[in-house]
Amino acid sequence: MSEYILTLLVFVPIAGALLLLLVNKEKGGLIKSFAFVIALINFILSLYLYFNFVPENGFQFEVNQSWVQSLGINYHLGIDGISLFLVLLTTFLSSLAILSSWSAIQEKVKGYMVTMLFLEAGMIGVFVSLDLFLFYVFWEGMLIPMYFLIGIWGGPRKIYATIKFILFTMLGSIFMLVAILVLYFMNYNYTGEYSFDLLKILQLPIPFGAQFWLFLAFALAFAIKVPMFPFHTWLPDAHVEAPTAGSVLLAGVLLKMGTYGFLRFCLPLFPNAFMNFVPLFSILAIIGIIYGALVSTMQKDIKSLVAFSSVSHLGFVMLGLFALNMQGISGGILQMINHGISTGALFLIVGMIYERRHTRLIEEYGGIARVVPVFATFLIIVTLSSIGLPGTNGFVGEFLILLGAFKSKTVYAVLGAVGIILAAVYMLWMIQRVLFQEIKKEENKNLLDLNLREKITLIPIVLLIFWIGIYPQSFLSKIEPAVKNMLEYVNYKSEQMSSCEKKFDEICEAKDEPAGYVKFELRRCTEESVLNLR
């Protein structure tokens, strides 16, 4: 089972999607139920990972088959403590997203569900790939369903939004593709073997200069995805136009691919460059935190408010990752999950009220807590999680991140913590204008409260919010060993590389600036004598 489980997780949704193609498109109910069952099966399958995961074991549930032998492309899957919960988050949110589309999607139901299932497969693929080529395939492939999701089932400006989304993402991906190819050929030069395998490329000694450029190429792709300030403008547009389920997965999962990428690729592949970029990225993260929060405050559309708040929250995640210590990175990983849960829930909730009133403008509401108390309760709970109230999941993540940032540089934590004040400002103001005060609009007086399906969608989220808030150990204990390994590995590798670089410089100086090819050989010798990366 362990060998097949990841493959199953990727291919069950694809198989489901293919089967769906055979169903008559008139049978909407059947199509929805079938898609939901597939997503649910996939979620239950993914629980197998949780229960059989051994924190100390590094990569597990691995499968490594040759795919295109001549090019050294492998079908290499595996997860560790960093990706485990992202996979679970994906299967969890996909199920809820499909459930939430039940009444929201009335047109082209079949196409929609097929797209959703393909999207799920693509997202899981990104998190489980350990082969750079395979990773790239999933990374780009997953854009296609998202493109259709926004472009077909989106709002009035869907075409603008979806093209913007695609172009932004592609812009970054192109550089990443080039960087992947450079790594591929560097690996060939070094070992004489063609391979895209991440675990092999990790052992490659990459000179500082190359690290710098390769880091930037990867980082651009990931930073756009996160999105980090100033690459965030595709996000509000995409969110506002996307259908509810699209927003849920976009915020809940897609953005995490960026932060995940930093952690999985940028950090271990280019540790020295990563460390050099700590100040820049920490500052960008902090700008994102404060900027996102401030811009959120003034939004008139609830969805774009939540979208900008994501910029702020993801800023926290980045701040944690770039703190480069246990608390910062663990907190960052946990916060990826937390943001997926809380922001996913916020989008679900906004979607529910949108279905009733067909508007997302804050000013159209007010006082609806009286008519829809259950809805109000859920919204308040999720808000509390989003503003990081202790006892909810948001607190654990944010506190660990700030604790880590505090260690790395006190001023980062001080500035980051400003975001926590601002979060209360924009969220509570929104809550006040939507739920509280008197009902002014006639249309709101007869709103229906949540139905059973909607409650079922939200209850698991609320349970998770408190579970992670009160007993985060069931998550942190699985994340921690992976982070510890990563940090040890990164520190070791960066030190090795530094000493190698130093020695190489000394030799070059002694030889009075040798010519190119001599230099190449020299470097090779230095690496062999100094490095022990395996």
Residues that bind other proteins (CB under 8 A): 164, 167-168, 230, 232-234, 291, 294-295, 297-299, 325-327, 330-331, 367, 369-370, 384, 389-391, 395-396, 399-400, 402-403, 406-407, 413-414, 417-418, 420-421, 424-425, 428-429, 432, 435-439, 470-473, 476-477, 480, 484
Quick one: CA dihedral 194, 264, 249, 361, positive or negative? Answer: negative
Q: Is 62 helix (H, G, I), strand (E, B) or coil?
A: strand
Helix (H) or strand (E) holding 349: helix 326-357
Cβ proximity to other proteins, 186 vs 389, nearer residue: 389
Long-range CB pairs of 411-420 (<8 Å, 24+ gap) are: 412/282, 412/286, 412/319, 412/323, 415/286, 415/289, 415/290, 416/285, 416/286, 416/289, 416/315, 416/316, 416/319, 418/289, 418/290, 419/289, 419/290, 419/293, 419/312, 419/315, 419/316, 420/387, 420/388
Cβ proximity to other proteins, 119 vs 166, nearer residue: 166
Q: How far is the CB of 359 from other proteins (least distance, A)?
A: 20
Residue type, 20: L
Q: How far is the CB of 480 from other proteins (least distance, A)?
A: 6
Q: How far is the CB of 405 from other proteins (least distance, A)?
A: 9
Which residues is 75 bridged to in the sheet? 65
Q: How far is the CB of 479 from other proteins (least distance, A)?
A: 9
Q: How far is the CB of 291 from other proteins (least distance, A)?
A: 6
Both structure tokens of 291: 């900027």
Q: How far is the CB of 394 from other proteins (least distance, A)?
A: 11
In three-state form (DSSP H/G/I as H, E/B as E, the rest C), the secondary structure along 429-449 is HHHHHHHCCCCCCHHHHHCCC
Alpha-carbon span 274 to 262, nearest angstrom: 9
Alpha-carbon span 416 to 425, nearest angstrom: 15
Q: How far is the CB of 408 from other proteins (least distance, A)?
A: 11
Cβ proximity to other proteins, 207 vs 460, nearer residue: 460
Alpha-carbon span 191 to 189, nearest angstrom: 6
Beta strands at 73-79 and 60-68: parallel, antiparallel or unpaired: antiparallel
Helix axes 393-408, 302-321, angle to 10 degrees: 40
Cβ proximity to other proteins, 309 vs 496, nearer residue: 309
Q: How far is the CB of 294 from other proteins (least distance, A)?
A: 4
Cβ proximity to other proteins, 471 vs 492, nearer residue: 471
Q: How far is the CB of 41 from other proteins (least distance, A)?
A: 31
Cβ proximity to other proteins, 112 vs 168, nearer residue: 168
Q: How far is the CB of 206 from other proteins (least distance, A)?
A: 28
Strand runs labelled E in 285-328: none
Burial class (CB in 10 A: 0-12, 13-18, 19+), 459: exposed
Cβ proximity to other proteins, 21 vs 298, nearer residue: 298
Place of tokens 């399906």: 453
Alpha-carbon span 256 to 251, nearest angstrom: 8
Alpha-carbon span 230 to 138, nearest angstrom: 25
Alpha-carbon span 92 to 90, nearest angstrom: 5
